[in-house]
Amino acid sequence: TALIHHHVPQALLIEAIGQELTYLLPNQNFQPRAYASLFRELEETLVDLGLSSFGVSDTSLEEIFLKVTADGNSTNRKCIPETDGALQTNGNGPCDVPEGTAGRGSHQVRGLCLTIKQFFALLIKRLHHATRSYKDFFAQIVLPASFVFLALTFTLIVPPFGEYQSLTLSPWMYGRQYTFFSNERPMDPQMRYFGEVLLDKPGFGTRCMVDEPMEDFPCNNITTEWEMPLVNPALIDMLAGPKWNLLQPSPDCQCSTPRKLTMLPVCPAGAGGLPPPQRIQSTGDVLMDLTGRNISDYLVKTYPSLIRTSLKSKYWVNEQRYGGISVGGQLPLLELQPKTIQDVAAQLGQLLNITGGNCSKQTLKDVGTFLRYMETQDSVKVWYNNKGWHAMVSFMNVANNAILRANLPKRANLDEYGITAINHPLNLTKEQLSEITILTTSVDAVVAICVIFAMSFVPASFVLYLIQERVTQAKHLQFVSGVSPLVYWMANFLWDMLNYSISAALVVEIFIFFDKKCYTSPTNLQPLISLLMLYGWSVTPMMYPMSFIFSVPSTAYVSLSCINLFIGINSSAITFILDLFESTTALYKLNQLLKTLLLIFPHYCLGRGLIDMAMNQAVTDIYARFGEDYSPDPYNWDYIGKNLFCMAVQGFVYFMLNILFQYRFFMYHWISDRPKPPIFEEDLDVAEERERLYRREKTNDILRARDLSKTYSGTITPAVDRICVAVSPGECFGLLGMNGAGKTTTFKMLTGDINVTSGEASVAGHSILSNILDVHQNMGYCPQFDAIDELLTGREHLHLYARLRGVPELEISRVAEWAIQKLGLSEYAAQSAGTYSGGNRRKLSTAIAMIGCPALVLLDEPTTGMDPLSRRFLWNSIMSVIQDRRAVVLTSHSMEECEALCTRLAIMVNGSFKCLGTIQHLKYKFGDGYVVTMKIRAAKPGCAPDLNPAEAFMESNFPGCIQREKHYNTLQYKISSSSLGRIFQMVLANKEKLKIEDYSVTQTTLDQVFVNFAKQQSREDDNIVLHPKAAGAQRYIEE
């Protein structure tokens, strides 16, 4: 410092990290020759001062941009006032907060309390995501319930097999009646009273009784007076003539003849006699009084006219007159004498040579008395139309109601008494019962398949979130934050089961709404719930391993839904169909074998269980037809007990298999490590680092990696080849390399994302091979691509990871606010991360890595996509981590970022370190000299500058220099071997002579050192034919 201030008093020491000092030299108000003398003396006294190297670089355009825009972008530097009004600030960052206390809790929760805290943190994360994800709500709740609802709605269209309703018989089942009544003994008080009971209210049948029991046929409650239809007087005179008698009371009708065919008889006027008195009953019927008339003659001869008036179409005719009642008549008897019967019997005995006994003789003696009492007095005759199948019974019931009411006590209310005739279906035959059982269970089997169809989407949707977390590396980032795989999967399993329970509850409610007895009867409801819940218990962990296979959530959803449908529908349908052929021995044995083998699938257990419940209910209903109670235990092993047991076991088995997949138990444990060739021609600095780690000295290094190697299966060339490095507290170690050099693979091994092929590494004394959980508790990780949930806000992300890292619950908000302020996310903390710009996403990822102040922070290209101001802001935050005596390992494609942050760095080529050391050391050791840039002014205004003298000067004074650029007034040369002091001295001495307006001398940049090593990287595109311009760029790099 004294030497520099001796030559350039205005020089400022701006950075002192490790063994490297950085000074800022002024660009104005200084003696130009002072730089030349300074550089010359540094070169001469390099060893005496204990320096290994030095270099110089000019101000970059990015730094100029930052200086110009700093005042206009102060929003990122806002600080939160605390309760006492003081501002939180940080000398190297936006806020001056003591790094060691603000970024972590007062203590770290550990042990069982930490596990419980992480468990609930993961549940809170899923809750935030679920409340904002409409797709999940539709796939997990709406879709399955809709399918089941539609399926049960369509079952309503199918009539119930074998469940025939009883039929209440009444005349009005054939519509309004044109009926009749006849009293053959009107003068008899008993018959007259019977007629009044029959015709007056309640009238025919039970239609107009109290409360009107026949809902489909309400009572009119109005009875009209008797009316005589108007008749032509000439017709009256004609029918009163002596031509007509009791046997032929009216003209005959003409039927069809061989010459003329008619559909109905042709009846002349007056056929059937004069129109009888009629009225409208309270039941709405038209009642005709045929007392004293030849009823048969009237009915037959008025039938054609009645049919013609009631003809509605040529396909169907309403008969309208289906019956009537006549009372008081006597049965007609044959004019036969008892003596005649006795003579016939005697002659028959003689003919057959039969002698009757005492009983026969007594019977023949009493035959006269028998014939006399066969003539019934006061009979009730029921007339009916046999075209109505139920007409006879209906009008018989009308007569029975009248008989009942006529014999009631005088004070009885006739409206309250009646007889209802009901026709019940016949009992089914054995064949009909078998057919009904098959048809009923077939419909219920379709319902079961629809339930499988609906419930297949739910577990498939659970995998979507898990795939998204794995692809975005959010899942791995949670592991790095201290979550064990067991806690992660148990939390997700619990959340998925809660969601599934909602879907299952809706399905059960829909079954109850549709009153499906085979599933919702008191005996079957609990087994239904058990089947649905155990299906979710078993099929959900069965889907989890699929999250390791698929990388596109939509593809996984479609594929897994189809797989679930295929297994569930086909297995259930095949076994159900084979049940129909159980009489065939071979098919029966095959079906029993399939039923046993398919029990490994939860889909089959659910579908077959529902089908068995439906079949059992059908059998129960058949027993109930015979009045027997048949109710087997649904949990019986041969019923659905084995299905429930298998699903209960499958839940545990599939979950444990998923945990083994997570730990890569089946993939890497049995791969042997191949022997590696010895290392030759290794860089001296890299070799010294390797030797230091081989000595196993006790140091305070936070990260120690010794011979860390990774060879992917199916390849021979290692992706990472025996790298050795140690990173101490307060150090930022940079990893540079082209794509494919092994940087990200190194990070994956350190974070436990992939297994280590050979070698070992430790973080804060904990081995990544045997104690990865403790390693994660001391590690923060910012992956190359943002591992964030787009539906969670930035603040929710930080709260989540603060809980995962064991920050006490009461201090989580403070620690999260510290990270928000630290990374300048105040304006966006309450917004969903999906709305963040690329730069703010990287800030959030870096804040997640810093939360809890872990001892080691791994940053994989943290500033990708950031503008210069945000990038410098993030640099300041990273610098504060270094100053807090923690370690940072950084990968970047920005050489300037490495120069700004890294105390040491290594360049990786083909998986191994090619160089290692401080930036200035690498520039000095592997650099190609200096770059001189000169701007030439014109001799006269308006004339072009003459560049020839300057070109001749450079070629003569610096032989071997290479002209890199030549523009209107600018020249740039690369000088491979020369003294920095001599370059300044020569250019300064000839500045006026060569008309040099300004100039700069810069040491070889880190980019050029990187490019020199990058040429050694083996690439897959070496043999690709490039576009001519790209090929030119390729040649330029290789020169």
Write down the pLDDT at residue 385. 92
Q: Which helix (H) or strand (E) holds 834?
A: none
Residue appearing with tokens 């709404």? 513
Residue appearing with tokens 């009708």? 253
Residues 737 and 617 in one domain: no
In a domain, 20, yes or no: no
Over the stretch 328-337, which tens digit does the pLDDT of each residue have?
Answer: 876 666 667 7
Which residue in 985, 982, 973, 983 sits closest to 936, CA to CA?
Answer: 973
For 7-11, 346-350, 440-444, 575-579, which range has the lowest pLDDT when averaged over its residues?
Answer: 440-444
In a domain, 681, yes or no: no
Is 0.85 surpassed by the pTM of this model? no
pLDDT exceeds cutoff 90 at 929: no
Number of H helices, E strands in the chain: 37, 25
Residues 219 and 304 in one domain: yes
Decide if 276 contacts 293 (C-beta within 8 A).
Answer: yes
Residues 823 and 945 in one domain: no
Residues 701 and 788 in one domain: yes
Residues 274 and 359 in one domain: no
Which residue in 756, 783, 813 sits closest to 891, CA to CA?
Answer: 783
CA distances from 703 to 625, 919, 1021 (A): 81, 20, 35
Q: How many domains does the chain have?
A: 5
In a domain, 882, yes or no: yes
Using pLDDT thresholds of 50, 70 and 90, give the confidence band for residue 95. very low
Decide if 957 contacts 986 (C-beta within 8 A).
Answer: yes
Residues 295 and 396 in one domain: yes
Write down the pLDDT at residue 664. 78
Which residue in 249, 875, 142, 929 sits closest to 507, CA to CA?
Answer: 142
**Phi and psi, residue 365, nearest 5°:** -70, -35
Residue 979's domain spans which residues?
929-1003
Handedness of CA 1032, 968, 33, 12 (dihedral sign): negative
Residue appearing with tokens 């919702």? 520
Using pLDDT thresholds of 50, 70 and 90, give the confidence band for residue 23. confident
Over the stretch 173-196, which tens digit does the pLDDT of each residue have?
Answer: 988 899 999 998 888 888 889 998
Q: Which helix (H) or strand (E) holds 420?
A: none
CA distances from 779 to 11, 94, 341, 853 (A): 39, 24, 125, 9
Residues in contact with 821: Cβ distance below 8 Å, sequence separation at least 6, in sequence order: 78, 79, 80, 88, 94, 95, 97
Residues 526 and 653 in one domain: yes
pLDDT over 70 percentage in the chain: 87
Among residues 641, 662, 683, which one ends one of the domains?
A: 662
Decide the pairing of beta strands 12-17 and 996-1003: unpaired
**d(C-alpha 381, C-alpha 166), whole Å:** 27
Residues 833 and 968 in one domain: no
In a domain, 605, yes or no: yes
Residues 473 and 526 in one domain: yes
Question: Residue 70: what residue type?
Answer: A
Question: Residue 726: what residue type?
Answer: A
Residues 222 and 297 in one domain: yes
Residues in contact with 566: Cβ distance below 8 Å, sequence separation at least 6, in sequence order: none
Residues 711 and 572 in one domain: no
Decide the pairing of beta strands 904-909 and 856-860: unpaired
CA max distance for the chain: 176
Burial class (CB in 10 A: 0-12, 13-18, 19+), 222: exposed
Write down the pLDDT at residue 181. 93
Instruction: Taking residues 284-294, report their average pLDDT.
Output: 90
At 587, list the tokens. 């098919």
DSSP-derived 3-state class of residue 733: strand
Instruction: Taking residues 832-836, report their average pLDDT.
Output: 89
Decide if 814 contacts 802 (C-beta within 8 A).
Answer: no
What are the E-state strand segments in 386-525? 421-423
In a domain, 896, yes or no: yes
In a domain, 609, yes or no: yes
Write down the pLDDT at residue 363. 85
CATH number of the domain at 983, please: 3.30.70.260
Write down the pLDDT at residue 1032. 37
Residues 735 and 634 in one domain: no
At 961, list the tokens. 């220099």
Comparing 1003 with 391, the larger pLDDT belongs to: 391
Mean pLDDT value across the chain:
81
pLDDT exceeds cutoff 70 at 861: yes
Over the stretch 620-657, which tens digit does the pLDDT of each residue have?
Answer: 777 777 777 777 788 888 888 899 999 999 999 999 99
Look at phi and psi of residue 272 and say left if phi exceeds 0, alpha if psi is from -120 to 50, else beta: left
Beta-bridged to residue 973, according to DSSP, are 932, 963
Which residue in 115, 185, 782 sits closest to 477, CA to CA?
Answer: 782
pLDDT exceeds cutoff 50 at 863: yes
Q: What share of residues in the chain are helix, strand, coil (percent, to 5)?
A: 50, 15, 40
Beta-bridged to residue 727, according to DSSP, are 703
Burial class (CB in 10 A: 0-12, 13-18, 19+), 65: middle
Residue appearing with tokens 């309270």? 282
At 213, list the tokens. 């029991």
pLDDT exceeds cutoff 70 at 737: yes
Cis peptide before 202 (omega within 30 of 0): yes
Q: Which helix (H) or strand (E) holds 970?
A: strand 970-975
**d(C-alpha 543, C-alpha 459), whole Å:** 7
Which residue in 838, 841, 905 sits closest to 865, CA to CA?
Answer: 838
Decide if 891 contacts 108 (C-beta within 8 A).
Answer: no
Over the stretch 555-595, which tens digit does the pLDDT of each residue have?
Answer: 988 899 899 888 888 888 888 888 878 778 888 889 889 88
What are the E-state strand segments in 373-441? 379-384, 421-423
Among residues 906, 923, 940, which one ends one of the domains?
A: 923
In a domain, 495, yes or no: yes
Write down the pLDDT at residue 963. 86
CA distances from 849 to 102, 119, 877, 889 (A): 15, 20, 12, 12
Instruction: Taking residues 821-846, report their average pLDDT.
Output: 87
Over the stretch 771-812, which tens digit does the pLDDT of each residue have?
Answer: 888 888 888 898 888 888 889 999 999 999 999 988 898 888
Write down the pLDDT at residue 170. 92
In a domain, 116, yes or no: no
H-assigned helices in 670-808:
684-694, 743-751, 772-777, 794-804
pLDDT exceeds cutoff 50 at 75: no
DSSP 226-242: PB-----HHHHHHHTST
Comparing 125 with 523, the larger pLDDT belongs to: 125
**d(C-alpha 293, C-alpha 183), whole Å:** 10
CATH number of the domain at 871, please: 3.40.50.300
